[in-house]
Structure formats: structure tokens, C-alpha cells
Amino acid sequence: MLMPLLRNGIPKPISKIRARFSTASSIAGRKSYKLFSLGDFSLCEGATLRDAKLAYKTYGSLNAQGDNAIVYPTWFSGRHWDNEWLIGSDMGLDPSKYFIIVPNMLGNGLSTSPSNSAPPYDKARFPNVRVQDNVRAQHKLVTEEFGIQTLKLVLGWSMGAGQTFQWAVSYPKMVERILPFCGSARTSPHNQVFLEGVKAALASDDAFQSGWYNQLPTKGLRAAARVYAGWGFSQAFYWNETWRELGFSSLEDFLVGYWEGFFLDDRDPNNLLAMLWTWKNGNVGLTPGFDGSLERALASIQAKAIVMPAEKDLYFPPEDEEYETSFMPNAKLRIIPGVWGHFAGTGLNPVDAKFIDDAVKELLNS
Amino acid sequence: MLMPLLRNGIPKPISKIRARFSTASSIAGRKSYKLFSLGDFSLCEGATLRDAKLAYKTYGSLNAQGDNAIVYPTWFSGRHWDNEWLIGSDMGLDPSKYFIIVPNMLGNGLSTSPSNSAPPYDKARFPNVRVQDNVRAQHKLVTEEFGIQTLKLVLGWSMGAGQTFQWAVSYPKMVERILPFCGSARTSPHNQVFLEGVKAALASDDAFQSGWYNQLPTKGLRAAARVYAGWGFSQAFYWNETWRELGFSSLEDFLVGYWEGFFLDDRDPNNLLAMLWTWKNGNVGLTPGFDGSLERALASIQAKAIVMPAEKDLYFPPEDEEYETSFMPNAKLRIIPGVWGHFAGTGLNPVDAKFIDDAVKELLNS
């Protein structure tokens, strides 16, 4: 499945960013991935995913010492190829130096998900998966498949940032550095309310049938997309009509072409809601040993960190990361400036992409 | 119909604020209103509302000179009684001194609306009404019914603020003072995107039937409520659990008890969408004579103004009012501090209510 922007014709700035994926063969290459067998994988909330699989892709090679590995988890509805904009020979995540592992989140449609599970745990019966479960699954992959004992860096955007924090809390001695961008260690109550709105819009479509649809509830998906649109980018992004930089011709063209296209791009509703549950319930304080305390969990992090909220992110606002960073012994807060809001972390615009890449380079070289 | 909060039992802080409306007889009194006949009222967009009515209520008496009148229009889905928290003998809007007219917006269910219009312009066929139309209708009421030639003050919250700006632009010599709070003279593009999300969530319910429902599409109303919840109050409001001050016992209790209750409180979906269109298309620059220029229209305002955005308003952010105020010759920008976001202007909390009332007093005494 192509990215929605490619599908709708490649706007110029995007075509530059994504030039290296523009041929049919390389698109097929991007889509390829491996499956790691998790076996019968028991979840924090009690269910067991039987014969569970973690889909992943790697870039570069593990060196003889096994000390050049980086983990870069995916985000809400994202797939490994959506992370590739930050990987390249001229970038911090340079595959000629590092072994970069991109695990797909449980529920994203490639790893074990509502859409690809066998009954009885399929579709609306897919069990609740926590961020902790994702990170434990990734840890199995990293240690059992590759025998890796230390990670140079864990990083990620949005829910990928949530997994990044969790890695540093769950495996403090293993993770040397973290760079979570536009995400948090605990999902804030306002963020939960935003997610409730997205969920309600999606579920309001009768065709959703409480998750037992045989045909996609596209009206609900489009509604969820339109709800999301106001949150994904900042007020100033819309005021300035910055969407023109992405090749859209009007506000409505952006809402349909970008947002509805995004949600119709092979995003299964049950998958979305499974990941949404994971997101809504994210909290490193729930890791065993911290008695529910976010602050104590953050204080236990040993990794050197650059924490990067975006200046105008409406659901992961910078003040939340200022708060979280204040408990971390070895962390810098570095705000991504500008109007792109949460979507500063998508790689959609070269300025923010460079700002993040510069931080990756700095952190890796420290 | 009672306020949702009263319906669900009166939480303590609210009961204090609303003590004067707490008896059954005074509730009936609040609901009473008069109808002004607009006759066949032609709208900017071309349709004619035949035998149109403006519902209004007045507080106090017009003095012999006819120079103590104040207009205080309603907000999106609000009704005249929702404005009463700012009216009282100890407040700026003192009915013993001023003649306060609260006109209900076209589309709010009391004035001519989708829900109370005869065919063929009823329900989903209700025509598009502009802010300009509302203000022209109110001007007819004020001048023809009461013979008023000058207004001491026009003020309003949210869409009421939009009407306030429009009054000052449409009738510059008539309006001496304006105090728009948590609203704008032109609806920003981001605000439009937020509204598209609310609309899509409501319309996603099949029971909505493109507006031709015979039974309320309550699933869509509840979804719209949950979308709205994240926008109405700020991130910090939710972080601090400030909803506890309103008597709610959990976040979900607030989402259901306050928000869903709010949208189920006699809010007709076609009425909501009619007002939403008015809101989305608000722009004083479209007043004849300004050639679409917001800035030129604002510059024409002669009224003395205190413009009051709320510090953490997510859809009418303070920077938008900083921009608008910069073109007004006689305006002060005064930001309402605190975490209540857009809903700072509801009268729900005493601190913000006093802050706004203090500004009303200051402006009236100047």
C-alpha cells in the first residue's frame, strides 16, 4: 500500500524527501519485513497472544562486538517504512555505522493485530496490549534473535516515544541513550480525552458494528480523520496555510487529500482502536517496582536523554515533557520550534527533520 | 429544559453560582422570553426566512433618554438564560442601571431555527445564516421595537463575541463599547478544522440521516460531545483535574455527565449544524464596504474595546486576538489567565467570572 501522499500524486517537497523510495521496486523493498516468533506471549492485562509475531525490519549490520544497535519503534498506525525518513547515510541513523532495528507495534497490522489474528482473539476481541508488552516483545527480539546486550540508542516519535521511555525504564542497564520526540512517558488526561473523541467519531458509524464489520466503516474513518486534523498540526500551521508546502490546494483539499487519505490508507479500525488503547493507557509508572509512580519510574532511568517535544504540539504539549524531564537524572529538554505541532515528528518538513537529526547525531556522538 | 448539570444533580460549586435560579418557579422564569417578528427576512446568502422570529429577553428598563441599552448575544447552542450568570445587581451588567437585551441566535432553537421552521426551509434545508444576518436581525429588534439609537455596550462569549465584533463593524456610530470574550472577528482556519471534526462525528451516526432524522441521533451527539471535550477546556485543566471543582468524580464521569449531558440537553443536531455554519463562516471583513478585508473592517471600529481571549483557549488562541486587536484603533487586549481554556467564558468558575465582570465594570465606567 502506498503512502497517501504518493497515491495522490507526489507534491514537490515530499518527492524530494522521499526521492529514494520513488521507484516501484524500492517501494516493494520498503514493504518487505521479517517476522520474529514471540510464541505464546502473555500480556500485562492477562490475555495470551498465542503464536504471536513481531514484524520488524533492520537497516545496516550488527558489528562483531554487538554494540552498535539502535531500536526505533513505530507510532500510532505507523509502519516500519514510516520511520525511514530519519535513516540514511548522511544522517545520524547511518546504516553503515549502526544496526537499526525498527519493530512494528503490536496492533499495527504487520505485527500481531486484530486484523491478522485468528479467532477467538481477532477483531473486536483483540486483547488490551500495554506499551510495556510491546517493549518486552521487542526485548525478546533484540536479545534472542540478535543476542544484543546493549543498545546505543532507542528513539521514536509519538507512541514510539512512549515505547522509548518504557525501554529506558524496563531495561535501564541496557539502554545507553534515548531520544523520545513528541511523546510522553505517561499519557496525559487531556491526551486521553482527545483520543476518546477520535474513537467516538470512528465508532459512531453504524457500519463499524462494534468492531464486527465485514466492510470498512469508511464514514467513521473519515470522521476520525477530520477530528484528528485539528490536533495533528497547530493553529499557526493552519493560519499560515503551511499545508501548501505539502502540495495541497485548499484547506478542504488538505482535509480530504491528506487526512482522509491517511486514515483510508490500509488503517483497519480495530487495529486503530487496539493501538489507541495502548496509547491511552501508557504510563511507565506501571512498570513493576514503581508502585504506579511516574516520577519514580522516570528517576530510575539511567540513559542519557534528549527529550524533544514540539513547541506547538496540542496533545503532547512541551510543559508535560518539562515536567517529565525534571525527574530524569540525565536528560535535556530540547523543544522543536515551529508551527508543525505534533506532526513535526513525521519527517514531512525538512527543517524539523534536520532539527531532530541533528539531535540524534549529537546524542550518538556523546 | 434544565441545564445538564442541574439535571444530573447540582454539584456544590455550581449550585452556589446558580443559586438564584434554583427554585422551580425561577427556572420557569428563566425560560420565558419574547418573540420579535422579523417578517420576511432575507439572508446574505440569498434565501429568505419567511415570518422569521427573534427570541429575546430583557433585563432592567430602558431609561427616558434611551441611552442605557446593552446587547449581549448568545453563543453556539446557548440560550438567553446561559448568559444570566454575568447579569446581577452586584455586577457590571446591573439591571437597575442598564437595559440588557439578550437576543437568541438564529438557529438556537428559540429564534427561527431548523427545529422550529415550517417546510420547506425546515430541518436539513434551513438556509445558511451569517453572523451579519444575526446582527442585522438584532439591530431591527433594538431600533424598531425599542427605538434605541445608541448602545452603551455590546458583549458576548465565543460566537457571541463574533456577533459583538460584527455589531461594531456594521453599526460603528451606534456602538459605544464592545467586550468580546473568547471569540474572534474572523473564524480562523484551525477553528474551522476543529468544527469540521465536530460535524463529522455528529454526521457519522447513520441515525442522523443527512439531517432528515425523526429520532435524535444520540450516538452522533455523544460522539460530537466527546470530540468537543478536548477542545473546550485546556490541557492543564485536565492535568489538574479541575473538573473536580464542578462536582465530577472521574474523568469519564466528566465526559459523560458534563459533555454528553450538554449535547443531549435539547440540542437539535440540525440546529447545531446551522449555528456551526454561521460560526465557521464568520468574518467581519465580508461586511459590505471592506472588500473581504478583516483588517480594514477592524480598523473601522469606533467603539472602545476590551478584547478578552482566554490564555489557554485552544480554538480561539490569544495570538489571534492579539492580531485582530492590533488593527482596532481603540482596543485593549486583556487575556483571561488560567486553565479553563475556552470555557473560561461560561461563568462556570467564580475566578474567571469575576475577571470578566471586572472588565465589564471598567469598560462601562470609562
DSSP string over A91-118? SSB-TTT-EEEEEPPTTSSSSS-TTTPP
Residues 6+ away with beta carbon under 8 Å from B142 = B69, B71, B101, B148, B151
Q: pLDDT band at residue B58, thresholds of 50, 70 and 90?
A: very high
Alpha carbons B197 and B203: distance in angstroms, whole number: 10
- pLDDT of B9 strictly over 70: no
Q: pLDDT band at residue A252, thresholds of 50, 70 and 90?
A: very high
Span B229-283, pLDDT tens digits: 999 999 999 999 999 999 999 999 999 999 999 999 999 999 999 999 999 999 9
Catalytic status, residue B206: no
Beta strands in chain A (DSSP E): 34-42, 48-59, 69-71, 99-103, 153-157, 177-181, 304-307, 331-333
Q: Please give the order of strands across the beta sheet that includes B34-42.
A: B34-42, B48-59, B99-103, B69-71, B153-157, B177-181, B304-307, B331-333
User: Given this model, what pLDDT does residue A28 score?
Assistant: 73
Span A208-241, pLDDT tens digits: 999 999 999 999 999 999 999 999 999 999 999 9
Q: Which of A133, A300, A342, A352 is catalytic?
A: A342
Instruction: Give strand pairing partners of A87.
Output: A93
- pLDDT of B151 strictly over 70: yes
Closest partner residue to B235 among A188, A226, A251, by Cβ?
Answer: A188
- pLDDT of B21 strictly over 50: no
- pLDDT of B347 strictly over 80: yes
Mark residue A266 as left, alpha or beta (left: phi above 0; alpha: psi -120 to 50; beta: remaining). left
Span B300-324, pLDDT tens digits: 999 999 999 999 999 999 999 999 9
Residue carrying C-alpha cell 454539584: B11
Alpha carbons A293 and A337: distance in angstroms, whole number: 30
User: CB atoms < 10 A from the CB of A153, how many?
Assistant: 24
- pLDDT of A58 strictly over 90: yes
Query: Any idea which of A111-125, B26-40, B48-62, B337-351 has the lowest mean pLDDT?
Result: B26-40
Assigned C-alpha cell, B231: 477542545
Q: pLDDT band at residue A31, thresholds of 50, 70 and 90?
A: confident
B324 at interface of A, judged by CB pairs closer than 8 A = no
User: Are A239 and B197 a contacting pair at CB < 8 A?
Assistant: no
Q: Which long-range contacts (CB under 8 A, 24 or more apart) does B29-38 make?
A: B30/B81, B30/B84, B31/B1, B31/B81, B32/B57, B33/B57, B33/B80, B33/B104, B33/B110, B34/B58, B36/B140, B36/B141, B36/B145, B38/B112, B38/B137, B38/B140
Interfacial B residues in 176-235 facing A (CB < 8 Å):
188-194, 196-207, 219-220, 222-223, 226-231, 234-235
User: Given this model, what pLDDT does residue A19 score?
Assistant: 37
B310 at interface of A, judged by CB pairs closer than 8 A = no
Span B72-127, pLDDT tens digits: 999 999 999 999 999 999 999 999 999 999 999 999 999 999 999 999 999 999 99
Residues 6+ away with beta carbon under 8 Å from B279 = B76, B159, B162, B187, B191, B195
Pairing of strands A99-103, A48-59: antiparallel
What value does the mean pLDDT of chain B take? Answer: 93
Question: What ipTM does this complex have?
Answer: 0.90
Is residue B120 reached through a cis peptide bond, with omega within 30 degrees of 0 on the bond before it?
Answer: yes
Residue carrying C-alpha cell 504518493: A6
The percent of residues in chain A predicted with pLDDT above 70, rounded, is 93
Q: Looking at beta carbons, which residues of chain A come within 8 Å of B319?
A: 235-236
DSSP assignment letter at A152: S
Once rounded to an integer, what is the mean pLDDT over residues A165-170? 98
Q: Which of B205, B313, B320, B352 is catalytic?
A: B313
Q: How far is B340 from chain A (nearest CA, A)?
A: 13
User: CB atoms < 10 A from the CB of B335, how many?
Assistant: 17
Our CA angle for A114, A119, A125, nearest 5°, is 50
Residue carrying C-alpha cell 503512502: A3
Our CA angle for A336, A341, A342, nearest 5°, is 95
A188, A191, A193, A343: best to mutate for the B interface, most B CBs within 10 A: A193
Given a contact cutoff of 8 angstroms between Cβ atoms, the answer to whether B216 and A260 are in contact is no
Q: Which of B77, B117, B158, B184 is catalytic?
A: B158
- pLDDT of B213 strictly over 70: yes
Alpha carbons A295 and A185: distance in angstroms, whole number: 10
- pLDDT of A17 strictly over 60: no
User: Given this model, what pLDDT does residue A148 score?
Assistant: 98
- Terminus-to-terminus CA distance in chain A, angstroms? 38
Query: Any idea which of B10-14, B129-133, B332-336 has the lowest mean pLDDT?
Result: B10-14
Determine whether B126 is exposed, middle or buried from the number of CB atoms within 10 Å of its CB (0-12, 13-18, 19+).
buried
Determine whether B242 is exposed, middle or buried from the number of CB atoms within 10 Å of its CB (0-12, 13-18, 19+).
buried
Once rounded to an integer, what is the mean pLDDT over residues A297-313? 98
Q: pLDDT band at residue A8, thresholds of 50, 70 and 90?
A: very low
Given a contact cutoff of 8 angstroms between Cβ atoms, the answer to whether A61 and A70 are in contact is no
User: Are B196 and A222 a contacting pair at CB < 8 A?
Assistant: no
Sign of CA dihedral B125, B131, B137, B141: positive
Assigned C-alpha cell, B164: 459583538
Given a contact cutoff of 8 angstroms between Cβ atoms, the answer to whether B127 and B45 are in contact is yes
Is residue A180 reached through a cis peptide bond, with omega within 30 degrees of 0 on the bond before it?
Answer: no
User: Given this model, what pLDDT does residue B28 score?
Assistant: 73
Assigned C-alpha cell, B285: 471583513
**B113: number of CA atoms within 13 Å, CB side?**
24
A334 vs A202, A309, A345, A358, CA distance in Å?
34, 7, 13, 11
Residue A83's nearest CA partner among A105, A52, A66 is A105
Q: What architecture is domain B4-364? A: 3-Layer(aba) Sandwich (3.40)
Span B28-49, pLDDT tens digits: 777 899 999 999 999 999 999 9
Once rounded to an integer, what is the mean pLDDT over residues A272-294? 98
User: Given this model, what pLDDT does residue B24 score?
Assistant: 52
Question: How far does Cα A277 stand from its chain's mean position?
Answer: 14
Determine whether B246 is exposed, middle or buried from the number of CB atoms within 10 Å of its CB (0-12, 13-18, 19+).
middle
Alpha carbons A145 and A153: distance in angstroms, whole number: 18
- pLDDT of A66 strictly over 80: yes
Given a contact cutoff of 8 angstroms between Cβ atoms, the answer to whether A171 and A139 are in contact is yes
Closest partner residue to A223 among B189, B201, B231, by Cβ?
Answer: B201
A188, A191, A204, A273: best to mutate for the B interface, most B CBs within 10 A: A204
Q: What is the 3-state secondary structure (H, E, C) of chain B?
A: CCCHHHHCCCCHHHHHHCHHHCCHHHHHHHHCCEEEEEEEEECCCCCEEEEEEEEEEEECCCCCCCCCEEECCCCCCCCHHHHHHHECCCCCECCCCCEEEEECCCCCCCCCCCCCCCCCCCHHHCCCCCHHHHHHHHHHHHHHHCCCCCECEEEEECHHHHHHHHHHHHCCCCECEEEEECCCCECCHHHHHHHHHHHHHHHCEHHHHHHCCCCCCHHHHHHHHHHHHHHHCCHHHHHCCHHHHHCCCCHHHHHHHHHHHHHHCCCCHHHHHHHHHHHHCCEHHHCCCCCCCHHHHHHCCCCEEEEECECCCCCCCHHHHHHHHCCCCCEEECCECCCCHHHHHHCCCHHHHHHHHHHHHHHHCC
Once rounded to an integer, what is the mean pLDDT over residues B180-206? 98
Question: How far does Cα B25 stand from its chain's mean position?
Answer: 25
User: Are B319 and A236 a contacting pair at CB < 8 A?
Assistant: yes
Residues 6+ away with beta carbon under 8 Å from B131 = B159, B162, B163, B166, B278, B281, B282, B283, B284
What value does the mean pLDDT of chain A take? Answer: 93
**Which residue from B minimizes the CA distance to A318?**
B235
Q: pLDDT band at residue A27, thresholds of 50, 70 and 90?
A: low
**Which residue from B minimizes the CA distance to A220?**
B204
Assigned C-alpha cell, A324: 517529565
Alpha carbons A111 and A105: distance in angstroms, whole number: 6
Q: pLDDT band at residue B26, thresholds of 50, 70 and 90?
A: low
Alpha carbons B129 and B222: distance in angstroms, whole number: 25
User: Are B197 and A229 a contacting pair at CB < 8 A?
Assistant: yes
Catalytic status, residue A313: yes
